[in-house]
Structure 1
Amino acid sequence: MLYILVSVVCYGQVDKLDFERRLNAAKNDSARAEVYRDALRHYARHNIDSLKYYSDKGIAYFRQRNYRLGEAHIIDQLSIIDQNQGRMDIARQRTQYALSIYRDLNYKPGIATTIGNLGALEAGVGNYENAIKYLIESLKLEETLGNTDVALTGYMNIATIYMQTGDTANSGKYLKIASDMAGKMPLSDKILGLYNMIGVQYAMTGQNEKAIECFLRNLELSDHPSFITAHVESLTYIGQYYLENGQPDKALSYLKEALAMARKNNIPELAANTLQEMAVIIKENDPATAAGLLNEALAIALQMGNKTFMATVYEHQVDVYKRLGKYKEALEASQMRTQVTDSLFATNKTSEINGLLATYELERSNSKVKDLEVKHMKRTAQRNLYLGILLGVGVLFIILFIFTRRSVMLNRKLRAQEAALQQLNGMKDKLFSIIAHDLRGPVARIPVILDIYEDPETPDDEKQFLLDNMRAHTKELIEMLEKLLLWGQSLVKGIMLQKETVNVSTYVMQDLALKKLALEEKDIAIVNKVAGDLNVQADATHFDFIVRNLITNAVKYTHDGGKVEIAADTHIRPGYVVLSVKDNGTGITPDMLTRIFTPVNSTPGTNNEKGTGIGLMLCNEFAILNGGEMWVESTEGKGATFFLALRQA
């Protein structure tokens, strides 16, 4: 089913359209600000020229009078309009600007509202972790202000995020809270959106009869120009319901009506979802038309910056292009889906969301505990006072000394344990995050390539193209596995060191032979100046890993027809052999140069070669473990030289 994040403020019905008369009759600037907001809400979908006229006029008026609160109200309303019409980046900029004004003025209702808006914006583009942080912060403020309308939106948005992650237990919990609050409020577009969400919850939990009853009732309640968003949503949900229950023709009729209304009233997010649903229905019988619908939906998603929806559209495009026999387009769509999914990595995990909300609940509990602790401390102080009177000053000092000493010792132990746990948890998170992120892309593309390859309609030349693509992905995957497993072993078990006398030239020649094919493909010249009699004292496995990675990186970032120079010197640092690998390739940016030996995202090579981003970090760790050092010198666009210093044998 389709899940739509509720906007923090929805359009409502305007009682009086004579805005000029209302502006003239306004008794103060606060009343004028409300009239301007009503005008913006009314003209948002009806008259863009009038919308611009009233927004420009209002901002100019309030700036002239230095009434910043009125200016913030107008900017805030414009951001909501931008969000509802899919202009997410502009909406975010306006919301942050309004928030800065509210904070300067310490206007807490505006602060709470705009922070909630930021949460809705982040969730709308798939950044759920940031969304939860904003929504929790907004709810904290609303609890102190007693603003039930904005608090209702916060609970609806949190429920929506849980629905998008498939956690129906928690989404049901927050929908129940929101429903109880809505029961005491007049009907609005927002409350109708809540009822649609409840219908989705029924469908997700298998209660189909309740779901369709809810959607049909909402369709009737929202049949009014003031509730156009909720009405289109209801049409879409009913269409999806009939599609999932085996009635595609009936579903298509509702979706067509929803699409027409969404286009007419400029609601891009609903139009995009409806286009996708229609494409799913017709793709078997009319894949060409389905492809056109998906392209239109993708264009809207790109404009809104909704990465989660982009990934879904790309997934459907793979299927449609295969039906049309366009295998290269199918492969490209699959790769784009992988890229979008990677960019959402670590932000769409229910466990992180649960953790953030649990922290919020914990903070509330801690606040109560602190109150009890304060009361307890007062009682303890009174008791100690009585004991001091009875037992004397000497006994009191002894007691205070004992308790102070014990408290200091316990605090020291607690801090030490906390630091150790944080370190272990950080290593675990870093290991699993990198493994999941770096392996997902190559592995995810393999089933798609195999599926297209096994299709009997795939031409032979396309199969060869797919085999070449598979070979490249497999080599990339093997290299990633080697580095990740070695690094994972070093984190979990510790790095085992077995030093011995290692001949530098032997390993340089050996690793150059392994890169022979890559060197020939890019026509790169090798200049090897390493003397055959130089030896270092190091672990042979570690030394081989460092040399192989430095040569691999030099080849990776050198342009076709370039040159790589390898040398070894005993004069730069007495008692050490300094191995250098120099290329005349792309070089390293100043920003990247400062963190080159940390696990950063790898930059593609000159021929778009991929990497894991942890190879140089491991090289540096191995160098230090073997009593050596690594450093780099580079000018962007002119190449780089990596140095490895190890003690001479």
Structure 2
Amino acid sequence: MDLAFENRFYNLDTLYLLTNEALGLSESIDFKIGKAKCYFNLGTFFSKKGKHELALKNFSISNNQAKEHAEYELELTTIDAIAYEYEFKGNFTLALKTYLEGKERAESLKNFTSLANFNANIASLYLQLNDYDMALNYYTKAKIIRVKLGKPIALAKTNCNIAHLNIDLKKFDIALKNLDYSLKIFKENAILDWLAYAYEIKGKLFLKKNEFETAVLWYQKSEAIYKELDDEYYQIRMLLGMSEALLGLNKNELSFKYANKARKLSEKLTFTKGSKDSARMLFLINKSNGEFETALKYYEKYQTLKDSLSIKENNKALMLFKAQKEYEEEKEEFIEANEELVAKQKSYVFISIGILIFLLTVLFLVKRNEKNYKSLNQKLMIQQANLKQSEKQLRYTNLTKNKLFSIVGHDLRGPIISFQELIKLHLKGSISKKEFIAFVPKLKTYIDSIAFTLDNLLHWGQTQINGLTTNPTNNIVQNILDDNISLLSEIASKKSISIQNNISSNIVSFADGNHLDVVVRNLLNNALKFTEENGEISIGAADRLNFWEIYIKDTGIGMDKKTIDEIFNTDKTYSTVGTNKEKGTGLGISLCKELIELNGGKIWVESSLNIGSSFFFTLPKSELISK
């Protein structure tokens, strides 16, 4: 595997052959991490061959396996690779989203090396969109981390990118200073791919200064290294820079040779940006030669490719991400302010009651005054209406309180007391350590039940007290289902219930991911609860224009019409025990209904006694998919 990966710059065929050999060996001994790394190598191979869909597929398999086996370093590396594939394809929105997810994951794992890499890659994305302030901001974050880590090679890479940025800003002195440091480090450590890139950037520096002969010299140094490396993609930018420098020296024939080679490589790798820039150079060369008809052909091709990249639309998407971050910060401030407001409102209630008593007293005193009677009577009617509304709200709050106490008293208190009593017996020596350990599986069941109930109570409480807001994002439904199937796998195993997830990875919804997670977990938990041993649960989806219709079907005990009507009633709880006497709070299905409708969908059930139940719900499609 290591030998294969080292060949990524020198011989792609060797990379492919050795990786497949390693994959076969890994499968023969069920070496799980080995398989995950092999899929990453295959993704690298297909990426460099310009087969980006195959690259994404293999990187995704590697990422899933890395997460499953807690191989955090590989998990972060695959996230970075997936984001880079989106960037290569010109889909900056998905690229940025994936880079940001990777950045948050690296922060949670305290992996500062990966955190610096994600910051640098986000900066590179903004640099391509000429957003220099954002690019410099993220490059600076990466540089600070790498300085603290004391890794000169990584720091040299950051400096090289900062030099690239400063060339675009025409700050040539700053760029040259950063480049010289980077070149020294890359030479000393024989980092050939970055050395070739640094030479290319130095060529660009002199090209921007119109010092074409010097630019050609540096591009030639870069070209010499690229000839040693089997990496066609990174050559494209160097070839175009060389072409532009030669055109500046009026060496049109040689300039054409480099531009045409860049065009062929871009088409081979389906690299749209490379094809666009090649068409631009070929237009300029033919125009300089007086071949206007050919020049016009390349200019039209350049414009078409430029439009297809939709850089402006991607730029808008990035601005939306920035606005979203600002909104989240403002939201936190709003929540704090709202909590203060709620505290004030409580005091206002008492003040309002005092005002009401005062108004009633005034009304009694001025009843003798006929002239003001009608006006005061009208005020009294308004106050009575407010009192009725308050009474209605108090009744609803009381109902919510009773429901909460019922759940806490019956569904949480029982397991907790049992747990508490068992610990007391153990501490008193009434039961031995061996006997106590024998109770551990049962205790785990209690704790799992308490955790599930508390999670539902949290979301239900938010809907009842403060109301819920949605934060819709693009979600791969398959991933959410897989996570929850894994979470509930122990319950399924105990009852020997098989779960089939038939949903493909291309089903992407635009909904609140946390809400969807709660819905899926409750529906799966219910299916397991009411399905007898050796039963089956199947999950699938259907395309309904702007919606996905998801179903979770079981071979359980089913329901009659009265039960179906009760479970969707949000005004009260309805709970029954499962096939193994499993208890529930009665919140799950009504909570699912509120969350699905909050995200613009619908939920319903089809069921027959002793045959099974099929729960259906709809979700809006991803905006990208619907477009």
What is the TM-score normalised by the length of structure 1? 0.50
Q: Which aligned pairs between 1:234-253 and structure 2 lie closer than 5 A?
A: 234-253=198-217
Deviations along 1:115-169, whole A, 9 cap, x unmatched?
3322222222322122112112222222222222222122111111211111111
Deviation readout 1:380-426 (Å, 9 max, x if unpaired) = 99999999xxxxxxx999757458999xxxx9xxx9xx9xxxxxxxx
Give 3-state SS (helix, strand or coil) of 1:223's partner: helix
Provide the residue aligned with 2:251 in structure 1. Answer: 286
**1:213-252 → structure 2 map (5 Å cutoff):** 213-224=177-188, 226-252=190-216
After superposition, the Cα gap between the structure-2 partners of 1:166 and 1:238, relative to the gap in structure 1 and judged at 3 Å, is same
Change (3 A) 1:329 1:62: same
Query: Given that residues 136 and 357 in structure 1 are in contact (C-alpha distance below 8 angstroms), is that contact kept between their aligned partners in structure 2?
Result: no
3-state secondary structure, aligned to 1:294: helix
1:352 maps to which residue? Answer: 317
Contact kept in structure 1, 2:33 and 2:66, CA below 8 Å: yes
* Counterpart among 151, 158, 175 of residue 187 in structure 1: 151
TM-superposed CA distance for 1:39, in Å, is 2.7
User: For 1:138 and 1:99, how far apart are their aligned partners in 2?
Assistant: 12
Partner Cα separation in structure 1 for residue 92 and residue 125 of structure 2: 7
Check the 8 A contact 2:15/2:41 in 1, yes or no.
Answer: no
Specify the alignment match of 1:142 in structure 2: 106
- Select the residue among 305, 313, 316 that pairs with 1:340: 305
> Cα–Cα, structure 1 residues 383 and 227, in superposed 2: closer, same or farther, change >3 Å?
farther
Question: Does the Cα contact within 8 Å between 2:4 and 2:18 map onto a contact in 1?
Answer: yes
Q: What's the offset of the Cα at 1:98?
A: 1.9
1:324 to 277, 289, 293: 289
Contiguous gaps of at least 5 residues in structure 2: 352-385, 398-462, 471-544, 547-627
| 2:260 alignment partner in structure 1 | 295
One-letter amino acid of the structure 2 residue matched with residue 307 of structure 1: T
CA distance in 1 between partners of 2:391 and 2:326 (Å) = 35
- Deviations 1:89-116 (CA, angstroms, capped at 9, x unpaired): 5432321232343456576654443233
Name the structure 2 match of 1:72.
36
Q: 1:378 to 1:72 in 2, by over 3 A?
A: farther
Label 1:322 to 1:362 Cα distance change in 2 as closer, same or farther (>3 A): same
CA shift for structure 1 position 353: 0.7
Does residue 120 in structure 1 map to residue 84 in structure 2? yes
Which residue does 2:589 correspond to in 1? Answer: none
Counterpart CA distance in 1 for 2:237 and 2:216 is 13
Out of 96, 99, 102, the residue aligned to residue 63 of structure 2 is 99
- Aligned residue for 2:5? 41
Other structure's SS at 1:183 match:
helix
Q: Which residue of 2 is the match for residue 178 of structure 1?
A: 142
Report the CA distance between 1:232 and its aligned residue: 0.8
Report the residue type matching 1:359 in the other structure.
Answer: Q
Give the CA deviation at 1:270. Answer: 2.9
Using the alignment, how far apart are the partners of 2:62 and 2:346 within structure 1? 50
The one of 166, 169, 177 equivalent to 2:130 is 166
Distance in 1, matches of 2:395 and 2:224, equals 74
Q: Kindly provide the amino acid, as one letter, of the partner of residue 102 in structure 2.
A: S
Following the alignment from structure 1 to structure 2, what is the Cα–Cα distance between the partners of residues 114 and 44?
16
**SS of residue paired to 1:166:** coil
Measured at CA, do residues 187 and 112 of structure 1 come closer, stay the same or move farther in structure 2, by a change above 3 Å? closer
Give the structure 2 partner of residue 452 of structure 1.
Answer: none
Q: Report the counterpart of residue 162 of structure 2 in structure 1.
A: 198
Alpha-carbon distance in 2 for matches of 1:71, 1:188: 32
| Equivalent of residue 155 in structure 1, options 119, 123, 131 | 119
* Structure 1 runs not aligned, ≥5 long: 1-35, 388-394, 419-593, 596-649
Look up the SS of the partner of 1:169 in the other structure: helix
Deviation at 1:352, TM superposition (A): 2.2
Match of residue 241 from structure 2:
277
Letter in 2 for 1:298: R
Higher relative contact order (CA 8 A, sep 6+): 1
Letter in 2 for 1:91: A
Cα distance per residue 1:325-364 (max 9 Å; x no partner): 4333222212221221221126654332121133245446
1:539 corresponds in structure 2 to none
Per-residue deviation, residues 423-463 of structure 1 (Å, max 9, x unmatched): xxxxxxxxxxxxxxxxxxxxxxxxxxxxxxxxxxxxxxxxx
**What SS does structure 2 have at the residue aligned with 1:184?**
helix
Match of 2:170, SS?
Answer: coil
Cα-Cα RMSD: 4.1
1:74 alignment partner AA = C
Q: Distance in 1 between matches of 2:97 and 2:105?
A: 13
Q: Which residue of 1 aligns with 2:433?
A: none
State the shift of 1:236 in Å. 0.8
1:215 aligned partner, one-letter code? L
CA distance in 1 between partners of 2:228 and 2:199 (Å): 15
1:123–1:386 CA distance, 2 compared to 1 (3 A): same
Q: Which residue type is aligned with residue 345 of structure 1?
A: S
AA at the equivalent of 1:159? A
Q: In 1, Cα distance between the equivalents of 2:394 and 2:208?
A: 67
Matched residue, 1:131: 95
Written as runs of structure 1 = structure 2, the 5 A alignment for 1:533-548 is none
Say if 1:363 and 1:101 are closer, same or farther in 2 by CA, change over 3 A: farther
Percent identity, aligned pairs only, is 14
Matched letter for residue 236 of structure 2: A
Offset at residue 78 of structure 1 (A): 3.9
AA paired with 1:239?
Answer: G
Which whole-Å CA distance do the structure 2 matches of 1:271 and 1:124 have between them? 15
Distance 1:366 1:61, change over 3 A: farther
Aligned residues of 2:239 and 2:258 also touching (Cα < 8 A): yes
Please name the residue that 1:314 is paired with: 279
Q: Measured at CA, do residues 234 and 358 of structure 1 come closer, stay the same or move farther in structure 2, by a change above 3 Å?
A: same
Residues 104 and 165 of structure 1: CA distance in aligned 2, closer, same or farther (over 3 Å) = same
CA contact (8 A) 2:147 2:155 kept: no
- C-alpha spacing 1:53/1:341, structure 2 compared with 1 (3 Å): closer
Q: Which residue of 2 aligns with 1:441?
A: none
Moved more, 330-339 or 60-69: 60-69
Report the secondary structure of 1:44's partner residue.
helix
Give the residue type in structure 2 aligned to 1:127.
N
Change over 3 Å in CA distance of 1:104–1:364 after alignment to 2: farther
State the match for 2:219 in structure 1. 255
Say if 1:136 and 1:360, in contact at 8 Å, map to a contact too.
Answer: no
1:306/1:188 Cα in 2 relative to 1: closer, same or farther (>3 Å)?
farther
Aligned residues, how many? 372
User: Which segment is superposed worse, 343-352 or 295-304?
Assistant: 343-352
- 1:208 pairs with 172, 177, 183, which one? 172
Compared CA separation, residues 369 and 40, structure 1 to 2 (3 A)? farther
Partners of 1:351 and 1:182 lie apart in 2 by: 31
1:132–1:357 CA contact under 8 A, matched in 2: no
2:227 is paired with a residue of what secondary structure? helix
Provide the secondary structure at the position in 2 that maps to 1:334.
helix
3-state secondary structure, aligned to 2:307? helix
Distance 1:81 1:294 in 2: 25
